Amino acid sequence: MRVNVGGEIREVRTLWREGRTVRMIDQRRLPHSFEIASTEHHAETAAAIRDMVLRGAGAIGVAGAYGMAQAAMEAGDLPPEGFEGYMAAAADRLRGTRPTAVNLFHAVDRCLRAAARGPVAERVRGVVAEADAIAEEDLLASTRIGELGGELIGDGCRVLTHCNAGALAFIDLGTALSPIRFAHRRGRGVFVFVDETRPRCQGSKLTAWELRQEGIPHAVIVDGAAGLFMQRGEVDLVIVGADRVAANGDVANKVGTYGTAVLARENGVPFYVAAPGMTFDLGCGTGDEIEIEERGAEEVLGMWGVDDDGSPAWVLVAAEGTPARNPAFDITPARYVTAFITERGILRPPYPESIAGAFGLRGRGGN
């Protein structure tokens, strides 16, 4: 993605691997500071996923794959039985970080399969190669989603998006933001309404930051204003990403997506979900089977920002001792989805048939 750092324009990926070191943009510091975090051990990479140094289905998947590559290199001197035990424990650690986004599970399982063949040295090379392949597939899928989805965005189109499904959520380009980027580069004059996306404000902090870097016109709105802008006829279409898509087309995505989809249907606004094949879970029949992560109450009760000195600061908004619930995701029933924008094409109802036709009979176990 294009990033302005201290007046210098640079092209950077969200995360990448240098030998045993994994480097990533520290998304907790954005938009006020641009910093690169590094992890040297698979346990540190797992902690970075858990603590949301990076987030987004694709980025989590690639980070999980890189964590498995680190584990393989860490265990390279062990006998086969010890190597297998070490890799199984690393897989459990990485899978246990965040339960909803399926890309993580697909990536870890693919690396485990690569770790099961040949002498240990060959297995290490296989896991590292598989992790690098997952990263490149992520980038290719985002590019193709942008090319196909960009054709859905006409001249002067006003797009609403929720959360951050941009370059920061993948290796580069993203899913929901990729069609917007391609439309902008084609001179379509696109404008983006950015839901702030409480409670962590990935929209106002991350999506708005990405759009500003690209020079794409946009405005941040509170989540509750989306319906008003649709009702006024100021939104032409909605594009969101996904953390997991069930075999029937139900979508797990950032909490608030379901309400946005219902509002879009009520107001006759097309609602698109942009997602790569790694996000589809054909082993999951419906959204009822998807585990919804619930995070700490402090994310709801307070806000992070910067103080007058530019230093990070957290402030309590609700009264001290107020109880709160904080589901991180919700489930949008397939009936509200106009189409899926994927690297295999635009998928339309009936979704059980179109999804199976595009991605085969693949379950949670891999790609």
Count the residues in the chain: 367
Q: Annotation-wise, does 55 bind a ligand?
A: yes
Q: Which amino acid is at 173?
A: L
Q: With contact defined as beta carbons under 8 Å apart, do 145 and 344 qualify? A: no
233 annotated as a binding-site residue: no
| List 236, 243, 250, 330, catalytic entry | 243
- How many Å apart are CA 144 and CA 340, to the nearest integer? 13
For 54, 76, 99, 264, 313, the CA distances from 220, given in Å and listed in that order, are 22, 48, 29, 18, 21
Residue 70 marked as a ligand binder:
no
Cα–Cα dist 97/86, whole Å: 17
223: annotated active-site residue = no
57 annotated to bind ligand: yes
Determine if residue 253 is labeled as part of a ligand binding site.
Answer: yes
Cβ atoms 157, 141 nearer than 8 A: no
* Euclidean distance between CA atoms 192 and 212, whole angstroms: 11
What's the CA gap between 172 and 175, in Å, rounded?
9
Q: Characterize the bridge pairing of strands 329-332 and 312-316.
A: unpaired
Query: What is the three-class DSSP state of 349?
Result: coil
Ligand-binding annotation for 254, yes or no, is: yes
Place of tokens 């794409």: 216
264 labeled part of a ligand binding site: no
Residues at the binding site for substrate are: 55-57, 98, 202, 253-254
Active site residues: 243
Residues at the binding site are: 55-57, 98, 202, 253-254
